[in-house]
Amino acid sequence: MAFAHLLELDNLQTHLKLRRGTVRAVDGVSFAVDGGETLGIVGESGSGKSMTALSIMRLLPRSGSIVGGKVTFKGRVLTDLSEDEMEAIRGGEIAMIFQDPMTSLNPVFRTGWQVGEPLRIHRHLGSTASIKAAVDLFKKVGIPEARRRVSQFPHMFSGGMRQRAMIAMGLSTGPSLLIADEPTTALDVTIQAQILELLRGLNREYGTATILITHNLGVVAGMCDRVVVMYAGRIVEEGRTDDVFAHPEHPYTWSLLRSIPRLDAEGHEPLKPIEGSPPDMMRLPTGCKFQPRCPFAIPRCSSEEPALSSVRRQQSRCWVTQSGTELAG
């Protein structure tokens, strides 16, 4: 491939204009995804994960707009494309899967017809051909009795099956990037595991790069080559999943990892919740945005915001670790 990266975000800034004021939902986010790679984006609700994804697709809600930075995909600057050009990318080159499988399928259409829709839009297939293709896609994503299932309506599908159908729809055109926005949040645990297994298998088989947005660190650990941790619209830590999980270099990541139960924990270490509450995006603190909740904060943290820079083998936005101090306690 002639491009440095499949997808590259460069200082992306997305603002939401609300009645109460402007929210900098995505504030200077930069990262890259290479072909075939799986990147995890984690963060709590409101940290800007979904807004980042919708900015890439340019499907922001009416109140949102990209005010700075650029998104480059296969050497094309998406943020500069016309709406027509963007429509060819959506569903053709980049596909997206959403959180709520209950409402992400149209209730009045048969699932086979819906799954064939991208093929009718991008490959100009006819109805019959697109539904035949849907039968094959259903088989690929593990929907049993595919031939019968294509003529059923979404309400006859379970949540897991709907999510499989959504994945089938996303993959129908063979996109090179799949953005999955919390694809398993609304599913129960056993189904979650199946869907993740499916995504992993498809990623291996077709080499589709995947951005997996989640607030579940376990999902990231099992799925992703690299991980981006977001807080208050910024990336606070980025690196290879193994490195970040073994040695978090940002107090937020460190706290997140200590707040989830682990089967392999030594002794009886109590779970430590993160103190305080998620930041008010209208009134962010000066300096480091995590500083009010940070157990390691030093005076400098509340006056100056650190940049994202190399710490050990990853990138971190923290004065403490950048100065060489170990996070422990």
Partner 1 sequence: MSNATAIIAAEGPVRRAPIALLQVARRNRGVLIGLVLVLALCVVAALSPVISPHDPIATAPDDAYLPPLSPGHVLGTDELGRDQLSRVLWASRVSLPVALVAVAVGLVGGGLFGLVSGYAGGVTDLLLMRVVDALLAFPALILAIALVAALGPSLRNAMIAIGIVAIPVYARLVRAVVLQLKQMEFVVATRSLGATPLRLVLRHLIPNLMNPILVQVSLSAGFAILAEATLSFLGLGAQPPTPDWGQMITTGRTFLPNDPWLAIVPGAAISITVYSFNLLGDSLRDALDPRLRS
Q: Does 96 bind partner 1 (CB under 8 A)?
A: yes
87 vs 305 by CB, closer to partner 1: 87
Q: Does 42 bind partner 1 (CB under 8 A)?
A: no
Q: Does 104 bind partner 1 (CB under 8 A)?
A: yes
Give the integer Cα–Cα distance in Å for 92 and 82.
16
Binding residue for partner 1, selected from 17, 148, 204, 313, defined by CB under 8 A: 148
Give the strand order in the sheet containing 209-214: 94-97, 177-181, 209-214, 38-42, 226-231, 234-240, 314-316, 309-311
Indicate left, alpha or beta for 21 from its phi (over 0: left) and psi (-120 to 50: alpha).
Answer: left
Residue 195 CB, nearest distance to partner 1 (Å)?
Answer: 16
The tokens of 326 are what? 């170990």
Residue 181 CB, nearest distance to partner 1 (Å)?
Answer: 10
What sections of 178-282 are H helices per DSSP? 189-206, 217-223, 241-246, 251-258
Q: Does 107 bind partner 1 (CB under 8 A)?
A: yes
Q: Does 135 bind partner 1 (CB under 8 A)?
A: yes
CB 293 within 8 Å of CB 274: yes
Rounded to the nearest 5 percent, the helix, strand and coil shares of the chain are 35, 25, 40
Q: Does 147 bind partner 1 (CB under 8 A)?
A: yes
Residue 115 CB, nearest distance to partner 1 (Å)?
Answer: 10
CB 38 within 8 Å of CB 212: yes
Length, in residues, of the chain: 329
Name which of residues 159 to 188 contact partner 1 (CB under 8 A).
166, 169
Binding residue for partner 1, selected from 67, 121, 257, 284, defined by CB under 8 A: 121
Residue 166 CB, nearest distance to partner 1 (Å)?
Answer: 7
106 vs 259 by CB, closer to partner 1: 106
Q: Does 150 bind partner 1 (CB under 8 A)?
A: yes
Give the integer Cα–Cα distance in Å for 294 and 237.
15
SS3 54: helix
Residue 5, C-beta contacts closer than 8 angstroms, at least 6 positions apart: 32, 33, 34, 72
96 vs 256 by CB, closer to partner 1: 96
Judged by CB under 8 A, how many residues of this single chain contact partner 1?
Answer: 42
Half-sphere exposure of 299 (CA within 13 A, CB side): 0
The tokens of 315 are what? 């990138």
- Residue 317 is given by DSSP the state -
162 vs 250 by CB, closer to partner 1: 162
Query: What is the per-residue binding string for partner 1 in 56-95, x denoting contact by CB under 8 A?
Result: -x-x--x------------------------xxxxxx--x
- The backbone torsions φ and ψ at residue 211, rounded to the nearest 5 degrees and listed phi first, read -105, 120
Q: Does 156 bind partner 1 (CB under 8 A)?
A: no
Give the integer Cα–Cα distance in Å for 8 and 290.
26
Residue 164 CB, nearest distance to partner 1 (Å)?
Answer: 14
Q: Does 122 bind partner 1 (CB under 8 A)?
A: yes
Residue 301 CB, nearest distance to partner 1 (Å)?
Answer: 37
Residue 185 CB, nearest distance to partner 1 (Å)?
Answer: 12
Give the integer Cα–Cα distance in Å for 217 and 261.
11
182 vs 237 by CB, closer to partner 1: 182
Q: Does 128 bind partner 1 (CB under 8 A)?
A: yes
39 vs 56 by CB, closer to partner 1: 56
Q: How far is CA 277 from the centre of its chain?
A: 22
By CB under 8 A, name the binding residues for partner 1. 54, 57, 59, 62, 87-92, 95-96, 98-100, 103-113, 117-118, 121-122, 127-128, 131-132, 134-135, 147-148, 150-151, 166, 169
